[in-house]
Structure 1
Amino acid sequence: MGSLVGAYATSHTAMMIRKFQPDNDVHAAVHQAFAQVRAEVDRLSPDVLVVVSSEHLKSFSYDSFPQICVGIGEIATGWGDGGVASAEVPLAGAFAAQLLSEGVATGFDLAFSANPKLDHAFMAPLTLIRPEMDIPVVPVFQNANTEPLPPLWRSAQLGKLLRDVITRRPAAETVVVLGTGGLSHWVGTPEMGQINSAFDERFLQHVRAGDLGAILAMKTADVLAEAGNGAPEIRNWVTAMAAASSQEGWGVSEPERRPRSGGEPTARGPRGVVLAYESVPDWATGIALARLAPEEEP
């Protein structure tokens, strides 16, 4: 069986590259955290990097917009949007094909895109974490901005699917999962530039505690109202948390996301280590990075 050797989650705004100022202490703290993730991924040396993210009407449009789409094929290419340089990214075609086929067989109506193009949601974190673009990637698109939005428990089910596929991969294969997006931010609205640090800190407390149940209990409408139209991207963190969890028997159906009568959530994830959180008005985003697995720095 294959093995998941690491899982991380980060924010992904293109402004952290386009508007980066090295002499700004807040900017530098974010980039230092990305450098730490880069060093850890280098030490983990995975065979495959599964990147779960969203996109911003670059690869998909309203004539055909999937809820979840797996990138298959040999090469993905960056759009070069938002000031993030384009690059060619090798794809882990065999892993992607197995994820697609097993997902459909187990009830996920997955779409696929052959040799897809990737916007800054994928390319900004990859540029900072693996600028060499030498680890084969499985890009997984999740809808986070176009109604109707799926509930967060569906993103946890996707994480469980990823974990199950990893266990059925060849024994020597090692995998790192990276979820990107969020935290609080408003895009293209009068509120753009605002950041709700209280929401972000509450969410990160759940990440630190591995309290996936509390996150799954969030309603998308409340997340939108409190943290902006970019905040539903936290679903990509949920997928990474669920993929990193070794717990069995949860996340299979919607009712299991609900707390037990005593208030204890049924869904537990790994206890995450928050590597950085900064409210960055210059980038119009609450920026966070977390290691979800392993618990100790590799």
Structure 2
Amino acid sequence: MSTNNPIETQPVENNLERQRTEINYSSKFQPLVSTSKRGKGNDELNFPFCVTVDKMTGYIYIADCPNDCVKVFDSTAKYIFKFGDSNGEGMMYYPRSLVICRGRILITHHHGILNYTLDGKFIPGIGKQGKGELEFNYPKCISINESNDDIYICDYYNNRVQILSQDFQFKSQFGSFKHPRDVKLLKEYIYVLDESNPCIHLFNHNHILLKSVISRGRGNQVTNPYSFFIDNSNNILIADYSSNSISIFNPEFQSIHNIPVSEHPTSVTVDNHDRVIVVCEHTVNCLQIF
């Protein structure tokens, strides 16, 4: 799978250090908070594509895709403000993913990356359509390597992951995938969610494939994985779009629980209080907190 290195399968360490007590996911069978308003209004959503949490404030940031904006809610799901639109400076067109890093929020949209402060002030970003360095073809997920602030982008139709420095300089790329949807970093490992079977691929920091895990398809572990999140105990939470659930796997990739959600989850995260936060689309277009 790597264009920079030959494919090499190596053993993966299973004794990753646990950072805190395991979350009791089995107790999360119905939401503490559930909003469901579809539309263009301030507190309404229309196909929310991604959710993340500012661990400092507890604010919930949602990429409200067809509404061409990011909406911000407090920890009780009360609307606070929004930023971005399809016109003017910082034109936002179908935002798909967002990540918070050092007082700013990076957002993938159309064929590039937008850059804003956390209170919604635009900072110039990068990107244009193409196959070269710093060019994209409908990028999906964006993630940050917390050790050096490198930026990892799933370049969906270019079937690769591009790696940029924090000041948007090209550093590296690896692939090729079958439409990578999501990427996460955990210590020295890189997890990529791909539209393949198995669907999650685990690489080391040299982009060498270590193993591919978690089968997809009806009757298998997940049906239609859309995105995923890794909690502080290294469990993997997958937004399983077609099964209307959050599928949870332990660090050894064994299924341990499923959280039923309203309909078609697209994104999941966990906040500082161990609450699972999910956005769903289709008829409900909602934000749920478990």
TM-score after normalising by structure 2: 0.27
Q: Larger relative contact order (C-alpha < 8 A, sep ≥ 6)?
A: 1
**Would you tell me which structure has more strand in proportion to its own residues?**
2
**Would you tell me which structure has more helix in proportion to its own residues?**
1
